[in-house]
Structure 1
Amino acid sequence: MSRLREEAAALALAWQFLTRVPLPVAVTYTPERMAASQAWLPAVGLGIGVIGAAVLVAAAVVLPAVPAVLLSIAATVALTGAFHEDGLADTFDGVGGGPDITRRLTIMKDSRIGTYGAVGLGLVLALKASSLAGLGPVGSPCLVAATLVAGHGASRASAMLVVMTSGYVRDDGTGKFTARGLGRRGVVLVGAVGLAALLILFAAAGAGAAAAGLAGLMAGHLLARSLFERQLGGYTGDCLGATQQLSEVGLYLGLLAWI
């Protein structure tokens, strides 16, 4: 029972970390619980995807594909407080504008958005909206909804893959709690959510679509890492946000290419 309570507390902390939705019960913070919570981040991603999918399906009853998709994206951005989008923009600004690692990390901490961040964020949001809307005429609201759920869960598993295979480069920051790594328990939980996301795609569109979505996600993952790992020598919390965003849009594009 004590183990279950600790896992519930870790899940609650993961929810509070990724979203702005308050929980009806207070959860006591400890560094150990926060470190354990990272394994639940992809599961929270599935929940965020479910909420985005519900908005999409409801909007699609009375609206065409494009505004329905935009409302869905707006809902998930509001739900998370643009947490990952901010990380994406900061990463683009840092790796695009800094002459050395110290300067890049300093730029990434600046709350102001620069040219690289604004252009990169705009392009990624446009690609998300256009790819999801593009699935509408050839699929259905249910297919797009399933894609949203899978994309939000699998892309956060992709970000955790960075934690498993790279090193945290700051002495502090929002991502500091990931520096301890995931451990066996975390790897199992993250892998289970990643597999569940692929099974959702498989059930909605078939094995080929799931494979294409996975290929697109991995392309986005590798693109993100090519941007920051050589420039920073590892990752920061912002880089995890960038990985999530590029992996998510990669999955959507891969699926659209197959469909």
Structure 2
Amino acid sequence: MRRHLGAILAAASFLTRLPMPLWVGKDSEAIAQASRWFALIGLCIGAVAACLLYALASLMGQELAVVLTLVGIILLTGAFHEDGLADLCDGFGGGWERSRKLAIMKDSQIGAYGVLALVTSFSIKVIALTQLSLPLACISLLVCHAGSRAIAGLVAVYLPYARDDDNNKTPQKDAALPLRNRLVLCICGALPLLMLPLTAAVSLIALWLVTFIALIKLMQRHIQGYTGDTLGATQQIVEIAGLIFFVIYHFQMTVSI
């Protein structure tokens, strides 16, 4: 039990800014072994977001509550995946050759493509969560945060690591993801889908599958592999795709009524 708890806390230390006990491993090897719990941490992050949104909405209305909830999640995670989205857009949009794209993605400075990506991402999240009913918005946070981190964790199964240097912060690059770990990742990511009707859950999975395949092909075409930034970008794009799905689902349900 202590070993599993340590792995879960190691995953939390990597995906959030929460302080952890000193005995929890924080090196690359420990994080790589803990990656199977990334979806579980995503579920916890989604639960925090849902609780925060529900509590704030009763005090100030859903619109402002949504914005403050998103800011709260950014503070909790340190904008970890948002940074990856910005870097991917800067690299893929601003570089011509593979080496140049990888260099741009590694640069700490942000360019026009990255700024536009972050503005667009935040805007879509705000508008989507505002358009949904409050209960459905809370459910969407649980589903999308867990599912998106499960899908991002599977990228390394289908692509090699793209960088040749060892100076990076991507723990998955040196560790295979065995079948048992993939199952843990997928089960934790799929748990919130049980709150949805079967047809809605299947439709969302199908949308995520198409999104995942498109992202894999995009990474293969641009850099012939993945990096830590592309994993973060995958999480963000899959999360956004999920929120858009919930808006469409909510709209169709409203029209049918």
What's the TM-score once normalised by structure 2's chain length?
0.90
Correspondence for 1:209:
200
Structure 2: how far apart are the matches of 1:68 and 1:31?
Answer: 36
Q: Which runs of 5+ in 1 are unaligned?
A: none
Give matches, 1:7-86, under 5 Å.
7-29=4-26, 31-86=28-83
Give matches, 1:39-188, under 5 Å.
39-136=36-133, 141-170=134-163, 171-172=165-166, 173-188=168-183
More divergent stretch after superposition (223-232 vs 12-21): 223-232
| Partner amino acid, structure 1, of 2:40 | A
In the alignment, is the contact (CA less than 8 A) between 1:215 and 1:254 conserved in 2?
A: no
Correspondence for 2:194:
199
In the alignment, is the contact (CA less than 8 A) between 1:19 and 1:79 conserved in 2?
A: yes
Q: Report whether the alignment pairs 1:229 with 2:220.
A: yes
Label 1:63 to 1:218 Cα distance change in 2 as closer, same or farther (>3 A): farther
Structure 1: how far apart are the matches of 2:217 and 2:115?
Answer: 19
Label 1:9 to 1:124 Cα distance change in 2 as closer, same or farther (>3 A): same
Q: Deviations over 1:169-191 (max 9, x none)?
A: 12332214344221122111111
In the alignment, is the contact (CA less than 8 A) between 1:174 and 1:237 conserved in 2?
A: yes
Structure 2: how far apart are the matches of 1:93 and 1:237?
Answer: 14
SS at match of 1:99: coil
SS at match of 1:214: helix
Displacement, 1:248? 0.4
Label 1:122 to 1:218 Cα distance change in 2 as closer, same or farther (>3 A): farther
Structure 1: how far apart are the matches of 2:146 and 2:25?
Answer: 26
In the alignment, is the contact (CA less than 8 A) between 2:39 and 2:186 conserved in 1?
A: no
Displacement, 1:149? 1.0
CA RMSD for the aligned pairs? 1.7
In the alignment, is the contact (CA less than 8 A) between 1:38 and 1:178 conserved in 2?
A: no
| Partner amino acid, structure 2, of 1:152 | H
Label 1:16 to 1:213 Cα distance change in 2 as closer, same or farther (>3 A): same
What's the TM-score once normalised by structure 1's chain length?
0.89
SS at match of 2:139: helix
